[in-house]
Amino acid sequence: MRDLTTTSVTDAVFEQMGETPNPRLKQVMESLVRHMHDFARDVELTPDEWLKAIGFLTKVGQTCTPARQEFILLSDVLGFSALVNLLHDKTAVELGTESSLLGPFYQQNAPSFALGDSIAATSDEPELLLYGQVTDKTGKPLPNASVQVWQTDAKGEYDLQKFHGEQMDMRGNFRCDSEGRFHFRAVKPLGYYIPMDGPVGALIRAQRRHGCRPAHIHFLIGADGYRELVTAIYLADDEHIDSDTVFGVSSSLVVSPRDNDPDAPIKGIPAIRYDFRLGRAADNETGRVGADPSQILSMAE
């Protein structure tokens, strides 16, 4: 037996983990322990602060449901999701359109629509047309590429917030035509506060942050042989376009609707054209950064 000190306890943990058979698990856990111990020593963490952190993380877990992922939200507001996304992009053999965050409101079983349909189940709000083309990095069209979209409604709410997973709205799946073209109708989304009624919202308020995301529309685009693209387009006129609370905006993804767009496949409504380019996929391609909230627990098994 040896007496532990504030520095030797780290080596003692490493010794006990030394026989971990999975080399990647061993590498990740050793680094995690090293950084956690260094953090505690750096800030001279007190027992009361440690207990408050345990309580906070417990509340984050208790807030999660099949329709709400508070831990992904926590990762988002700390910029951790954005960092993982940027690291993921560095593994690509070829990049196309810039990626953005999947976020905590994705659902994998959204309804399928025909090109030109509206993703709004019912709405009295003015319509918005989204259209464009999916190509490879050189501009070659990708026929029948899949396009998944989801967004808030005109009041800044996702269906998961309004209906708690019992009803879908403002989301849908499309197939591009033989030239990789797509178009669909929606409403102009509104920027919104992240869920502020849970522990992550309390943290945001304690940090004097506004907690707002600029208005945006999510896209998840795929084609055989190409790297799946998770991205979003952001509306330029939103007041929080330069201060997204989850750090998801890139300048190349900022757009503005056009009235009387002569190239729009449906006339008479404001339109946004955005063309997406996909990079080639690698053989050992890793998964997307995020998931349907209902999938998270099964991923831990």
Q: What is the pLDDT along the chain (301 residues), one digit of tens a residue?
A: 678 999 999 999 999 999 999 999 999 999 999 999 999 999 999 999 999 999 999 999 999 998 899 999 999 999 999 999 999 999 888 989 999 999 889 998 999 999 999 999 877 889 999 999 999 999 999 999 999 999 999 999 999 888 888 899 999 999 999 999 999 999 999 999 999 999 999 999 999 999 999 999 999 999 999 999 999 999 999 999 999 999 999 999 999 999 999 999 999 999 999 999 999 998 777 667 888 888 876 666 5
Dist. CA 123–CA 127, nearest whole Å: 9
Dist. CA 142–CA 89, nearest whole Å: 21
Dist. CA 129–CA 111, nearest whole Å: 18
**CA geometry: angle at 297 spanning 295 and 301, to 5°?**
115
Dist. CA 132–CA 255, nearest whole Å: 13
The SS3 assignment for 159 reads helix
The SS3 assignment for 11 reads helix
Question: What letter represents residue 253's amino acid?
Answer: L
Neighbours of 129 (CB within 10 A): 23
| pTM over cut 0.75 | yes
